């Protein structure tokens, strides 16, 4: 699938500057960029990996709690006119991430499994056992 030459990927650091407001000028620039997307003047794409990186940085570097990370990611996902690879999966993943208290990537895979009708996962990671409907088996 081609996304289009007029669309640009937004890197995690752009969203992080906006969320963290650790550099006022950059945060303002990022806010204006997203507003242009909301207004239909820019076509912006955010990949699953960008969201995963944002979660990781907020959790590991800035020590934010999951309950504080979740609304930030939901806010990004609910921004009008932003294009996502798997928006519905990301939205479920951030919910699983907080509620089941598991790593975001495991939460994403759990949501992926559910949305794609898979039987489950082969894994030694018992975190998957915290997610209802995910059948984990060891190889």
DSSP string, the chain: ----TTEEEPPHHHHHHHHH-SSHHHHHHHHHHHHHHHTTS-EEEE-HHHHHHHHHIIIIIS---HHHHHHHHHHHHTSTTEEESSHHHHHHHHHHIIIII--HHHHHHHHHHHHTT--EEE-S-GGGGGSTT-EEE--
- pLDDT grade for 2, boundaries at 50, 70 and 90: low
Residue 88 falls inside a structural domain: yes
- Does the reported pTM lie above 0.85? yes
The CATH number that applies at residue 111 is: 3.40.50
Residue 26 falls inside a structural domain: yes
Domain span at residue 13 reads 7-133
Look at the chain and report how many structural domains it folds into.
Answer: 1
User: Cα(107)–Cα(94) distance, rounded to whole angstroms?
Assistant: 7
Residue 138 falls inside a structural domain: no
Residue 139 falls inside a structural domain: no
- pLDDT grade for 6, boundaries at 50, 70 and 90: confident
Residue 2 falls inside a structural domain: no
Residue 56 falls inside a structural domain: yes
């Amino acid at each position: 699938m081609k996304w289009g030459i007029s669309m640009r990927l937004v890197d995690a650091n752009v969203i992080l500057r906006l969320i963290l407001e650790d550099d006022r000028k950059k945060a303002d620039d990022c806010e204006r960029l997203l507003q242009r997307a909301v207004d239909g003047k820019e076509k912006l794409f955010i990949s699953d990996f960008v969201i995963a990186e944002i979660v990781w940085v907020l959790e590991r570097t800035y020590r934010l709690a999951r309950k504080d990370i979740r609304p930030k990611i939901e806010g990004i996902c609910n921004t009008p006119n932003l294009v996502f690879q798997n928006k519905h999966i990301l939205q479920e993943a951030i919910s699983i991430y907080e509620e089941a208290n598991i790593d975001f990537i495991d939460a994403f895979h759990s949501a992926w499994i559910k949305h794609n009708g898979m039987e489950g996962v082969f894994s030694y990671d018992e975190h998957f056992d915290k997610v209802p409907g995910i059948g984990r088996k060891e190889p």
